[in-house]
Homo-oligomer: A and B are copies of this chain.
Amino acid sequence: MNTSHLKKLAQVGIALSAEKDINKLLELIVDEARNLTAADGGTLYIVDAERAHLRFEILQNDTMEMRLGGTTGREISLPPVPLRAFGHPNHANVSSYVALTEQIVNVPDLYEAEGFDFIGPRTYDASTGYRSKSMLVIPMKDHEDEVIGVLQLLNARDPATSDIIPFDPESVDLIASLASQAAVALTNRVLFENLAEAKRCTEQAHLDTIQRLAIVAAYRDKDTSMHIKRMSCYSAVLARGFDLPPQEVEIILRASPMHDVGKIGIPDAILLKPAKLNSEEWLIMKQHTTIGGHMLSGSQSELIQAGKTIALSHHERWDGSGYPAGLAGEEIPLWGRVCAVADVFDALTHKRPYRQAMSNQEAFKLLEEGRGKQFDPRMVDVFFSQLDEIAAIQDPRSEKVYRACCV
């Protein structure tokens, strides 16, 4: 091997390790392998999960102006190559042989070689007039010495004359080293992607379970899950209108459904009473905030922690006359001030056991009256600045709005 090739190899190794996109990585492997050997064509196969087939990933041929697979968006329509042991009928595919035996195959001219059928390139030649000649086929072994794919290079060219020549032994060493680097880089990347995907699934399961916790809690007081969806969407709209950063809007959207979890601890006789509560009942009813805080305390989940904050603060009032702590103004956590407006607006505009639903106009009037008394005055202003979005969420026909807002 000459030094310039080896230096190039070191650079390629770094580039392969650094590539984050698997399709780009696959392409880069073939590009660089062809580059180092001046090969006209190149194919990359990956062993499938069942280790039963070699799947085509990249197919390139300069003369035929062909680039398929990888980032090109052009799929390779060829069927996968079965991995068949030697001795089996149809065993004579060279890539299958290389994957199974872990041997390198270097053929000066595939029309004169024996032992392999070379049906693929011969069929291709017959239909296109191309002339496949020299071929180098190398297994890609990862750090656990497992063959994860096969790299196949076609028609090495003389750098000076561009004549098709056999792959020289120096190229073989070089490409073998590249193939190892490529296999390790690819395995690392696949492991990373799999881990990232597993994390996304767990996150989704966590979000689903939080949503479920909220819906389960709402089951008893005949609140529908629609109330929870609307209320959390209003909260997100207000948070966005208040210029909270997107991550915080997301937290409010996900955590606000838990605001009434503590109602589980309130007896039916009070929770479902079809009339106004007397003062003793009212004292018990108010405890849903602290019961909710208790139910949601001690979690390491950021969302459950936010749920606790909201459960504890969504009935505080700007003027300090709310419950359970009687906090006033900026003492009330911002997320609680957001959810207070969202929760009251949705409650007012829907039927309750002891009263009918209000019209939007009546509800707007009450919000306006509560400005600076019950509610953070700026939050009420934000509400009135977002009436289009509020109306879209409110529209019972627009299920898709919830999805757009809540996903």
Spell out A's residues near B (CB within 8 Å). 1-3, 6-7, 9-11, 13-14, 17-18, 142-143, 177, 180-181, 184-185, 188, 191-192, 195-196, 198-199, 201-206, 208-210, 212-213, 215-217, 219-220, 261, 264-265, 267-269, 291, 295-296, 299-304
**Which residues of chain B have C-beta atoms less than 8 A from A18's C-beta?**
142-143, 184
17 contacts between A and B (CB under 8 A): A1-B3, A6-B9, A9-B10, A10-B13, A10-B181, A13-B13, A188-B188, A199-B202, A201-B300, A205-B299, A205-B303, A208-B299, A212-B213, A212-B304, A264-B264, A267-B268, A268-B268
Chain B positions within 8 Å of A203 at CB level: 202
Residues of B within 8 A of A268 (CB): 267-269
Nearest 10 interchain pairs by C-beta: A18-B143, A205-B301, A6-B6, A268-B268, A199-B199, A206-B206, A13-B13, A17-B184, A209-B209, A202-B202
Q: Known contacts A1-B3, A3-B6, A10-B177; can you find 16 more A-B pairs with CB under 8 A?
A: A6-B7, A6-B9, A11-B177, A13-B13, A13-B14, A14-B143, A14-B180, A17-B143, A17-B188, A195-B196, A198-B199, A201-B300, A204-B300, A205-B206, A212-B213, A212-B304
A293 CB, nearest partner CB in chain B, Å:
12
Residues on the B chain within 8 Å of A202, using CB = 199, 202-203, 206
**For the complex, what is the distance from the CA of A204 to the CA of B199, rounded to whole Å?**
12
Residue of B nearest to A11 (CB): B177
Instruction: A142 to B20: give the CA distance in the assembly, Å.
Output: 13
Chain A interface main SS type: helix
Smallest Cβ-Cβ distance to A210: which chain B residue? B209
Point out the residues of chain B lying under 8 angstroms from A192, CB to CB.
188, 191-192, 195
- Which single member of B188, B198, B205 contacts A304 (CB below 8 Å)? B205
Copies in the assembly, this chain: 2
Known pairs A14-B181, A216-B261, A217-B216; A209 contacts B301 (CB<8 A): yes
Q: How far is the CB of A28 from chain B (nearest CB, A)?
A: 13
- Bound-state Cα–Cα, A267 to B219, Å: 11
Cα–Cα distance between A52 and B192 once the two chains are bound (Å): 29
Q: How far is the CB of A192 from chain B (nearest CB, A)?
A: 6
* A326 CB to nearest B CB, Å: 25
Complex Cα distance, B220 from A261, in Å, reads: 12
Inter-chain CA distance A213–B180, complex, in Å, is 49
Most chain B beta-carbon neighbours within 10 Å: one of A191, A204, A209, A303: A209
CA distance A338 to B289 in the complex (A): 37
Find A299's partner among B143, B212, B261 (CB 8 Å cutoff): B212
| Contact residues in B for A216 (Cβ distance below 8 Å) | 213, 216-217, 261, 264, 295
Residue of B nearest to A297 (CB): B212
Contacts of A6 on B, CB cut-off 8 Å? 1, 3, 6-7, 9-10
Question: Are B10 and A205 in contact, CB atoms less than 8 angstroms apart?
Answer: no
Interchain CA distance A188-B196 in the complex, whole Å:
13
Report the Cα distance A2→B7, complex, angstroms. Answer: 11
A201 proximity list for chain B (CB < 8 A): 300
Which chain B residue lies CB-closest to A15? B143
* Residues on the B chain within 8 Å of A17, using CB: 13, 17, 143, 181, 184-185, 188
Q: What's the minimum C-beta distance from A167 to chain B, rounded to whole angstroms?
A: 18
